[in-house]
Structure 1
Amino acid sequence: MSLFFILLLKITPLYINIILGYLSVKFLNVKKESIATLVIYIITPLVVFSSTISVKIDTKLALLPLIIYLFCSFSAIIVYKLFKNHWSDATSNILAFNAGTGNAGYFGIPLALLFFDNHVVNIFIFAQLAFIFYGNTTGFYITAKGNFTVKQSLKKVLRLPVIYAFIFGLACNFYGLSIPDELIVYTSQFKAVYGILGIMILGMGLVGLRQSKELDIKFIFLNFLFKFVYWPACALIFIYVDRNLLYIFNDENIYKILFLFSIVPIANNGVTLAIINGLKPEKAIITVLLSTIFSLVYIPCMIVLYGGF
């Protein structure tokens, strides 16, 4: 069996979980709000804490989320300046937000669990915090430009329990504290639960979706261009330059993490922000759905081109 079909088989369960999430709301009356609250306020902080306390943080590793955050912010700002006058509503704001991020959490972490060992998964989750900070600082400000102030955006960040889990994990890591061996299996289970429920939430969000009367082909095309061409191209250029000239990381595992970040689908956070800004959410939801379906073939192809994990 070729590498492509092996990879395709590996990621297929993620799409099965999307279908299960849809069916659980459609036929079992599962409350997606309750599941999302459970993931945000209990499971995610535990996953972030256990990963942050477990990684060996040095200067190189500390730079990883910082570089990702700066790239996310730079991309969003540039895209906003380029396209802010192309639509009469908040579409350009959502496009800019999407250009600066990807579904590194709900989709990326399950992928990392499939392809990497536990140590690399912990680094992936540690670095993924850059997307969380971006989404609630630069990304939030760009999408809510004119509706919320910088102060209000920062207050939103400070209300996230994941921030305090991250700080607590860093403090424990700094003082040499670690999770007892007897509890490692227990804490590791939350990563699997996060992966399953996080993906199911995508399917849950499809319930009640109304077909948009007209597809915004331009919006969809630009989202696909930035997520599936611009992001991997930038990642590969950075990997090549760092591997041969800069030597900031000089670590194949980190290169794999950066590449995986670059090929995940469009983030579903834009759907919520579309609602906040008065943009028809169907436009954002359909774009996220199409990118997730497209990724079923796109991700195995890109991993094969990269040489496999």
Structure 2
Amino acid sequence: MISTLFSIIFVYVFILLGYLAKRIFKDDMNTKTLTLMSVYFLQPFVTVWGFSTARLHEEHFFVPLIYLAIILALLLPTILIGRLIFSDIKKRAIFSIAGFVGNTGNIGIPLGIALFGEQSVIFTTLINIANVFVVYGLGVYIYSRGSFGIRQSLFNIVKIPIIPASLIAILMNINNIRFTPEIEEFFKMGAYAGIVLQLFLLGTFLQGIRIREL
């Protein structure tokens, strides 16, 4: 019990470090640069490594389906509320996305590891991928429609590398294509770097939140 508690605390230490870094260095701590590094370079490592930790079976796919059902149940109310609260299309889009997506990558994967060990990674990765397809598919489309046309919005979805990386990783898992130990360790290093960066980023974002402004 004590070891589990410490494992959870250590996860939040990385969030605290991000919070302190942004508070101390302010604009010198560029969250946009860190986000680009995470989304375009390290998140594909998290996905590919996650799918290499265990062989997928039919029962695994019920996990993302349940998650998607919850997302769909939240989608319509958030869109309707967004239309009532905001007249600005971009603000409405941001509100709609925030209302039905979960923090499955930033917190879900590291907390799963802290609580249940690396055997949980295949489940948290599946939930995260379901979330990724919603956020980077429907979410990016909704947000882009606040600024771009349909064609550019669809192109913004294709540009994000975690989606093709996820499809390749799932196909490799289903066809039982295994990495050599050296390559698996390489992806594991990248995955843990991505997980830590996501926690750090979450801390930097939390530092910018002002309750009174909200």
- Band of TM-score, shorter chain: 0.7 to 0.9
Pair 82,56 (structure 1): closer, same or farther in 2 beyond 3 Å:
same
Q: Which residue of 2 aligns with 1:81?
A: 80
Pair 94,37 (structure 1): closer, same or farther in 2 beyond 3 Å:
closer
Stretches of structure 2 that go unaligned for 5 or more consecutive residues are none
CA distance in 2, matches of 1:190, 1:163: 17
CA distance in 2, matches of 1:18, 1:82: 30
Contact persistence 2:104–2:127 (CA under 8 A): no
Stretches of structure 1 that go unaligned for 5 or more consecutive residues are 216-282, 284-309
Pair 19,118 (structure 1): closer, same or farther in 2 beyond 3 Å:
closer
Number of equivalent positions: 211
CA distance in 1, matches of 2:209, 2:74: 31
| 2:101 alignment partner, SS class | coil
Contact persistence 2:110–2:195 (CA under 8 A): yes
**Runs of 4 or more consecutive aligned structure 1 residues displaced over 6 Å after TM superposition:** none
Q: Which residue of 2 aligns with 1:24?
A: 21
Q: Which residue of 1 aligns with 2:195?
A: 195
Tell whether 2:16 aligns with 1:13: no
Pair 137,37 (structure 1): closer, same or farther in 2 beyond 3 Å:
closer
Residue 46 of structure 1 deviates from its aligned partner by 1.3
Matched AA of 1:36: T
More helix by percentage: 2
Contact persistence 1:107–1:199 (CA under 8 A): yes
Q: Greater Rg, structure 1 or structure 2? A: 1
Residue 85 of structure 1 deviates from its aligned partner by 1.7
**CA RMSD across the alignment:** 3.1
| Percent identity over paired residues | 22
Give a deviation string over 1:43-64, Cα, whole Å, max 9, x none.
Answer: 2111211222443223332343
| TM-score using structure 1 length | 0.57
Q: Which residue of 1 aligns with 2:35?
A: 36
Pair 115,93 (structure 1): closer, same or farther in 2 beyond 3 Å:
same
Contact persistence 2:78–2:99 (CA under 8 A): yes
Q: Which residue of 2 aligns with 1:126?
A: 126
Residue 8 of structure 1 deviates from its aligned partner by 5.3
Pair 6,88 (structure 1): closer, same or farther in 2 beyond 3 Å:
farther
CA distance in 1, matches of 2:153, 2:62: 24
Matched AA of 2:16: I
Matched AA of 2:68: Y
Residue 80 of structure 1 deviates from its aligned partner by 1.6
Residue 145 of structure 1 deviates from its aligned partner by 5.0
CA distance in 2, matches of 1:59, 1:183: 27
CA distance in 2, matches of 1:111, 1:142: 29
| TM-score using structure 2 length | 0.79
Q: Which has the higher contact order (CA 8 A, sep 6+)?
A: 2
Q: Which residue of 2 aligns with 1:69?
A: 68
